[in-house]
Structures are given as C-alpha cells and as structure tokens.
Amino acid sequence: MGNCCSVTLQVQCDALINRCLDCTFGRASYLCLMEENLKSLTNALEELKALKNDVKVKVDRAEAQEQRRLDQVQWWMSRVAEIQVEVVELLRDKDQELQKLCAGGCCSSSCNSSYEYGKKVTEKLREVEALSLKGRTFDEVAGDAPPLPEMRQMDHTLGMESMVVDLWRQLEEPEVRIVGLFGMGGVGKTTLLDQIYNRYLGTPNDFDFIIWIPISRNHRIEKIQNEIGRQIGCFSDRWKNKEKEQKANEIFKALRRKKFVFLLDDVWEQVDLIKVGIPIPDETNRSKLIFTTRDEQVCSKMGGRGGRKKRVECLEEDEAWKLFRMNVNVAEDVLSLDPGIPDLAKTVARKCAGLPLALKIVGRAMSCKKTAREWKDAIDVLKTSASRFEGMEEVLPLLKLSYDNLSSDEVKACFLYCALFPEDFAIHKDELIYKWMGEEILKEYADVDGALNKGYTIIGTLVRSCLLEDIRGHVKMHDVIRDMALWLACELEETKDNFMVQAGHLLKEIPNVEKWDGVKRMSLMANDIENLDTIPSCPNLHTLYLSNNRLKMIDHNFFNSMSALQVLDLSKNKDLAQLPSGISKLVSLLYLDLSETCIAALPIELKALVKLIYLNLEHTSELDVIPQNLLSSFSKLRVLKLYNSGTCKSILGDNAHLESELQGLKHLDMLTFTIQTVLISERFFASNKLMSCTRFLCLDGLSLLDISPLAYMKRAYSLIINSCGRVEYNLDVLSQSSFKHLEAVDVHDCPNLSDLTWLVFAPNLKTLSIRSCSNMTEIIRLENLGEIAQVDEMNQFSKLDELILVSLPKLESIYGDKTLPLRYLKRIETRGCRNLKKLPLNLSSVPKRDLVITGEQEWWNMLLWESEDDKKAFLPCFRQYK
C-alpha cells in the first residue's frame, strides 16, 4: 500500500516539474529572441508597406476604370493600415525594453514586463507575416462596380395602397424574413413588389444591397447568378467562365456578412437559394427575401423559418371602378360625352371583375368610344366572345401562362371543364368531380373515394395556381380566367376542344343546331329554354348541360344522334315532368342528373343506359314509379342520389322488388337517402348494403327516432334530422361505438329535442347546424355523460369549422361552462339565441384570428367572457347580423 502511494506521488511531481520547465523555457524564449524578433518585425513591416503600395496602385488603376475594389482587398488594406499603427506604437518602447535585458538577453531586471513585451512582439510578427502572405494571393483586386440601384417605373397603384401599407408593416417586423406574394396573373403582384423596392430605396436603412431580379418561367440558375453578379459587382470576363458552383461560392462570400433585400419577381417554381449562392435570411444576417408567384405552393416551398405568404386579391368594386375610370379618361372625359355611357361603363368594369390588368387594358381600349351604342356593342362582345375584344389579345396570353404551367394534361382538362359553368357560378366540388368521372377523366379509379381523393388533389392544384377560388365546399372561376379558358377551349387551335358555351345568355330556344355537328362539349345552363323541339346532329357530343332552364318538353327524337354522349345534366328544370322514349339512344351515358325536376315516372327505355355510373334523383318529390328490373340494369352504378325523392318510399315501401334490385348493385358506393317512416327506418337499418354505402341520410318527420343504429353506419358523413318527435339514444351503448365518419349534422324543426349529447361520439364533426328547436337548452349536457370513460374532453368538437345556431330561444350553453379546443373554427352564426350568454372560446382555444362571429348586436353586448383580453381579442371577429 505504501509503495503504491510513493509511485503515485512521484508521477505527480514529475508532471509538475515538466509543466514548470515548459513555462520557464516558453517565457525565456520571449526574452532570448526579443532582439532578433524586433529586427524581423521591423523588416516585415517595411515589406508589408511595400506590398500595400503595390496593391494600392492596382486598386487605383482599376477604380480609374470605374471598377470596384473587392471586399476582401478593402478589408486587407484597412487591416494593414491598422497594424502599421500598432507596430509603430510597439517599437517606440524598443530601446527601453532592450536595456532591461542581461545575461546575454536571457534574463531581465523586470521579468514580467519584458515577458509581456516580448510576447507582443512575437504575436505582431506572426500577424504581419500572415498579412504579407495574404496580400500576395490577390490575383484580382477589383471588379465591375455594382450599378447604383434606381427607382423602378411603376404603373398606377390605385386601390392597392392598403396592401402596400400592410406588407411594409409586416416587413418591418424583425421576425419576418421571407414573404411570398401570390395571386392570379394580372392582379398586381409586380406592381406591389415595385412599390416595396422603391420604398426600400427611398427610406433610410442599413441594408448593404437591395436587389430586384425577374425570374420568369423555366428559370436558369446561371441567369439569376449573372444578374446578382452584376448588381453586387462580381461580374467580369473571368466570372463568365466560372461554373455554377463557383459563382454560388462567390455570391455567398460577397453576401454572407452583408445585410440585403432580395426581391424576386414572377417565380414559377422553387428557386434553390443555396444553389444560387444567396444566404438564407435569418436572425443573424437580418436580411429579407420577397417574391411574387402565381402558385401558392411555391410560397410553402420557399417560406422556411420566418416565412409568410400573402394573397394579392382583386380590387373591390369601388376601387376597380376608380381604376377603370382613370384609364378610360386618359385624354378627355369620355364618360361625360353621353348620358348613357356611365352606367354602361360600370357594366364593362364589372366584367373585368376587379382584375387590375383587365381594368387598365379594357379601360384604355374604351377611351375612344364616345357613343352609348359603341359601349353596348363592347358589352355584347365581352359577354359572347371576350377574346375578340380589343386589348384582350394582351390579357389572355399572359393569363395562359398559368395554364401552360399546370403539371399534366389531366389537370388542364379539368380546368377547361370548369368553363362550362356560367359566370360567377359556385361549383360544388363533389358534383364537379362526379362530372369528371362521367367524362372518364378519372376513369382509372375503381371506387368513389379514390376518384374524390384524386379530384380534390386536382382542385387543390388549380386553387394553389390561382386558377380557381376556394369558397367553402365550392370553387369559382374568376370571370377573366373563365374568358381565358373559353378562348383556349373554343378558339385557340393548339388547345381547341370544340366547346360551345352559352350559359346564362337568357336564351329562349336552343341555338342553331346546324352548328352542333363538331361540338364535343355544350353548356346551355341558366337560360329560359322551354322546349327541345329541334333535332340536332351531333355525333361527337360528349357533354350536354341543360340545367336551370324552363324545360317542359323534350322531343322524342332529340337524342337520336347523341350515341357518344357521356354526361347529361337536366337538373333544376322544375316543370320537366317526362323524359322522352328516345333517351334509350344514349347508350354511352355515364352521368345523368334529373334532380329538382317534377318527373313522376322513370321510363323503361332507361334500361338501355347500361354504362351509367351516376344517377341523381334528389328533390324529385313526385317520382314514385320505377319500372321493375330498371335499377338492376344499372349494374355499373356507383353513385345513386335519392335524398328527398319520392323514390325512397317506393324502394323500402310496398315495392319489394326495388329493395332487392338495389341490394344487387355490386358497385354502388355512394347513396343519399331520406327516411320518413318508422317502418322504412327499421328496414333501412336492417340492410347491410344500405348501411354500408349511404353517405348522406335525412331522417324526416319520424315520430320516434332511435339514434343508436346510426353509429354503425360505415360511411355516413352527413346527417339531417328534420321535424322529428321523440329522439332516443343510450350513451352506454354509443360509447362502445362511434360516429367517426360523421362530418356534418343539420338538426331543425324538432321542438321536443332538449340536447344533442350523443354528438360527443362524433370526433370528426366539421359542421353543426341547429335551427328552430324551441326546447333545446344545451347542446352537450355534461351531467348525462356521467363516468363514461370513452369521452375525451380534449377532442370534443376539435375539428369543427362551422357552428350555426338559429331560433333556439331556450339555449343556455354549448358545452356547459367549459372552453373547447376549437382549433379549426372559422364561422359562428347565432340568431334568436337570447339566453346563450357564453361561447366556449378563449384566446388559447381558437389560435386563428380569422374567425367570423355573426349575430345580433344586442346578443353580442351581453356575452360573458373569461377575461377582458378575450373580449378584446374576439371583438374584430364580430359581424352584426342584418
């Protein structure tokens, strides 16, 4: 044990002695070599001065040729100047320090002082030698000087002032580093970007570079790099010969220690900043990146941390009128030349639908039209064939770029299809996709869900490309975008698809049938046509829209030459009571919509439509005759819509053959249905086939309703309960199952209902509407839940985005006094709910402030809140009901 301690102590002593010797000899070297180092430092400094003079001559010569010295050269020359002063200061004490040395220079009368001085001499010598070495590496000392940024010429920004102010406010926030401006072509994104660029140039700031670069479609990285090189002074003959990676390194070196603003215009696909060489804006460099694009997806890809995106909207009607009027009255006050012109001019302006590009071009085209008749003619042209209007040859090709940029022919075909609908028409998303199925655009999908999924993907692509507008379950096509689509589909040879579209033209009769011969898709929607009594010849016709007319009679031979027809829409013809026997000629028909007609009986001739995959009989309350074996002939039927149809009574009523025929439709995947008697409800819930394929169910006028069987429906996503009496359910039974597919519930005119506590078992509910339930006191009655373990309070209504409460005079609470995690809530509408004094909201439960709350002012004033901060936070959300 003792020997072990002795060895350990010896090792520790040896290590201590070695460290002392290293320290002693290290300190001694600063003394012993001091005189030699001082001579070397003096010589090295003289050499550095000479090198600096040589570099300066090169710099002066380059700057005389209007080149700019390189940043690294500038830094080197500044550091050389600084170290000259530092060395001169150090050498001033040279003689005094040398006199302190003795014993051959290895000792000093003031060891600490001499040590510190000797150490400084050694360090300065190393630094001077390093600067000399760096100075000899400068092959180039200057490059082309970056041009001074100049203000950009801008078009009128009338109506966009608030957008500029709002965007500038965002950009002033330190955490906002990347902003993507997206919107349809011609909406003013570039004008907005120009405004921001000019404001940066005209406002005192500490940015080293403010760079504006046009990108455009099919951009090349080298082109972007060359433009950046010009603007930061790196562009030269040697630059032109460098590879992309070398240019990226040069740009990165030039910008990495700088504070910059990049403004990229017209970005069609993600620009890889790293490959270009642009440092990613972050909290360290405090730089900014602003870009414009027509595709919202580009914003998501380029956003990164600190990224924001902002949609540039069309102008409101008042601002649009001001911009249009300003462009009409360029040379003289045209609008005052004829008393009829101002109202006509407003009609023309409205046709531009707030799109600044169209307002300017159409306005200038009309600036020489000085009579009311000329304006009326212009309106006719814009309504019937906008592409032939003077000036639209500038607008439509520009908008066509968005179409050209779509990813596939399939997506392009789906986009053009939307032009069949009238102006400003809200197209139901699901119905649009069903029509695409009828056109066999989505024919590769074996089931309805697959087609719907793909259809929503295509719609999302078109919305993100700003070619469609998304409006709560519907899409709309901007009027000018629709004009572009019709131009592509009807007139432009390279994309011509033989469309004939006269939707919403107030036609009294069908247009000249002699022109139908080559037509492939025809839309005569929203007219006043009463009779189809002329026989057209149209063997190529695939699509025929005749919905929302005044049809009373269809000639028996009208469909004779339409053997290729795949989609026929006769819906919303409320006076149409009979189908012609000639409908049997439509042997290729896949899609047939007869909803909202007064047809009382389906003709047996429909048996010829053996390819039918979609049949819509909704809101055909008069329909109660379906011939035997007719339904079974539709063996490929996937979608059958019977909501609010008299057929529902027949199928599960006296005609047992209809039920068996329905059961035999192997491919039926989507059914809408109405149950109006207790007997039919019993037979419905006993059928596995009906329970498995029903997606939309209406329970109407039942005296007794048991909710429990609904929990076993496999696909129901929408439920209507109307005018029902007593409603029963067993929460213990329901807790063992779930309404997990239920997304929308509409309850109205049920005076005996006091609560809807069973909704706690609908975790995916998105829309809840309750109207005219006079005894409803609570939506969820918490005391009824008891100890049910399956109830997860944190997920109650967590996916709800719309809540409508109307004429509920006794309603006191939604979920007791508790707050709900309503992360996706966008709309609350309340009317006639005077006893509802608290909403289940607070600052943390609804993170998004885009919520809209509509109600009476008196109701809003008496609402109670958890805190004053909550009340202030939700005040901007309120809209008074009028």
pLDDT tens column, 712-736: 888 878 999 999 988 888 777 777 7
Q: Could you say which DSSP state residue 260 is in?
A: E
Q: Could you say which DSSP state residue 389 is in?
A: S
Question: What is the mean pLDDT of the segment spanning 449-473?
Answer: 93
Question: What is the mean pLDDT of the segment spanning 498-511?
Answer: 92
Q: Domain holding 810: CATH number?
A: 3.80.10
Question: Does 19 have pLDDT greater than 50?
Answer: no
Question: Does 790 have pLDDT greater than 60?
Answer: no
Structure tokens at 407: 């990813």
pLDDT tens column, 421-445: 999 999 999 999 999 999 988 877 7
Residue 866, domain member (yes or no): yes
Residue 275, domain member (yes or no): yes
Domain boundary among 496, 524, 546: 496
pLDDT tens column, 734-758: 777 778 889 999 999 999 999 998 9
pLDDT tens column, 164-215: 888 999 898 888 999 999 999 999 999 999 999 999 988 888 898 999 999 9
Question: Does 301 have pLDDT greater than 80?
Answer: yes
Confidence grade of residue 234 (pLDDT, cut at 50, 70, 90): confident
Counting residues of the chain whose pLDDT is more than 70, the rounded percentage is 91
pLDDT at 723: 94
Residue 374, domain member (yes or no): yes
Confidence grade of residue 658 (pLDDT, cut at 50, 70, 90): confident
pLDDT at 242: 86
pLDDT tens column, 318-337: 999 999 999 888 667 888 88
Question: Does 492 have pLDDT greater than 90?
Answer: no
pLDDT at 438: 93
Instruction: Give the domain extent around 878.
Output: 701-882
Residue 696, domain member (yes or no): no
Confidence grade of residue 407 (pLDDT, cut at 50, 70, 90): confident
pLDDT at 7: 36
Confidence grade of residue 465 (pLDDT, cut at 50, 70, 90): very high
Q: Domain holding 333: CATH number?
A: 1.10.8
Q: Domain holding 480: CATH number?
A: 1.10.10.10
Residue 107, domain member (yes or no): yes
Q: Are 488 and 416 within 8 A, CB to CB?
A: yes
Question: What is the mean pLDDT of the segment spanning 39-67?
Answer: 83
For residues 329 and 367, membership in a common domain is answered with yes
Three-state SS across 803-817?
EEEECCCCCCECECE
Structure tokens at 54: 């040589």
For residues 335 and 282, membership in a common domain is answered with no
The alpha carbon torsion through 217, 221, 223, 227 (nearest 10 deg) reads 110
Question: Does 260 have pLDDT greater than 90?
Answer: yes
pLDDT tens column, 101-119: 665 556 655 666 677 777 8
Question: What is the mean pLDDT of the segment spanning 668-688?
Answer: 89
Question: Does 72 have pLDDT greater than 70?
Answer: yes
Domain boundary among 311, 327, 345: 311
Q: Kindly report which listed range (467-476, 710-719, 788-797) carries the lowest average pLDDT score.
A: 788-797
Structure tokens at 356: 């600044």
Residue 719, domain member (yes or no): yes
Question: Does 10 have pLDDT greater than 50?
Answer: no
Confidence grade of residue 786 (pLDDT, cut at 50, 70, 90): low
For residues 485 and 346, membership in a common domain is answered with no
Confidence grade of residue 70 (pLDDT, cut at 50, 70, 90): confident
Question: What is the mean pLDDT of the segment spanning 446-463?
Answer: 92
Q: Domain holding 293: CATH number?
A: 3.40.50.300
pLDDT at 2: 43
Q: If you average pLDDT over every residue of the chain, what do you get?
A: 86
Three-state SS across 279-345?
CCCCCCCCCEEEEEECCHHHHHHHHCCCEEEEECCCCCHHHHHHHHHHHHCCCCCHHHCCCCHHHHH
Structure tokens at 39: 């001579």
Q: Kindly report which listed range (287-301, 394-408, 533-547, 655-669) carries the lowest average pLDDT score.
A: 655-669
For residues 324 and 306, membership in a common domain is answered with no
pLDDT at 877: 92
For residues 770 and 848, membership in a common domain is answered with yes
pLDDT tens column, 593-640: 999 999 999 999 999 999 999 999 999 999 988 888 999 999 999 999
What is the reported pTM?
0.80
Q: Which residue has the higher pLDDT, 349 or 26?
A: 349
pLDDT at 655: 64
For residues 764 and 867, membership in a common domain is answered with yes
Sequential DSSP letters for 630-694: TGGG-TT--EEE-TT-THHHHHTTT-HHHHHHHHT-TT--EEEEEE-SHHHHHHHHT-HHHHHHE
Distances (CA, A) of 472 to 227, 457, 740, 769: 43, 16, 22, 15
Q: Kindly report which listed range (21-25, 416-420, 519-523, 795-799) carries the lowest average pLDDT score.
A: 21-25
Question: How far out from the chain centre does Cα 466 lie?
Answer: 8
Q: Kindly report which listed range (89-98, 238-247, 281-290, 794-803) carries the lowest average pLDDT score.
A: 89-98
Q: Kindly report which listed range (125-139, 265-279, 580-594, 686-700) carries the lowest average pLDDT score.
A: 125-139
Q: Which residue has the higher pLDDT, 71 or 433?
A: 433
Q: Are 235 and 229 within 8 A, CB to CB?
A: yes
Buried b (16+ CB within 10 A) or exposed e, 256-287: eeeebbbbbbbbbbebebeebbbbebeeebeb
Q: Which residue has the higher pLDDT, 304 or 615?
A: 615
SS3 (DSSP) at 769: strand
Confidence grade of residue 645 (pLDDT, cut at 50, 70, 90): very high
Q: How many CB atoms lie within 10 A of CB 487?
A: 24
Rounded Cα gap, residues 227 and 244, in angstroms? 13
What lies within 8 Å, CB to CB, of 844 at 6+ separation is none
Distances (CA, A) of 52 to 39, 55, 129, 142: 20, 5, 13, 15
For residues 194 and 95, membership in a common domain is answered with no
Kindly give the pairing relationship between strand 639-641 and strand 802-806: unpaired
For residues 175 and 239, membership in a common domain is answered with yes
Q: Are 661 and 632 within 8 A, CB to CB?
A: yes
Longest alpha-carbon distance in the chain: 129
For residues 133 and 264, membership in a common domain is answered with no
Structure tokens at 416: 């053009």
For residues 136 and 233, membership in a common domain is answered with no
Q: Are 781 and 806 within 8 A, CB to CB?
A: no
pLDDT at 17: 35
For residues 328 and 347, membership in a common domain is answered with yes
The domain total for the chain is 5
Residues forming a β-bridge with 142: 69
Residue 694, domain member (yes or no): no
Confidence grade of residue 13 (pLDDT, cut at 50, 70, 90): very low
pLDDT at 5: 40
pLDDT tens column, 869-879: 889 889 999 99
Structure tokens at 841: 């909201």
Residue 778, domain member (yes or no): yes
DSSP 3-state percent helix, strand, coil across the chain (nearest 5)? 45, 15, 40
Domain boundary among 450, 474, 496: 496
Confidence grade of residue 9 (pLDDT, cut at 50, 70, 90): very low
Residues forming a β-bridge with 214: 265
For residues 842 and 821, membership in a common domain is answered with yes
Question: Does 63 have pLDDT greater than 60?
Answer: yes
Confidence grade of residue 31 (pLDDT, cut at 50, 70, 90): low
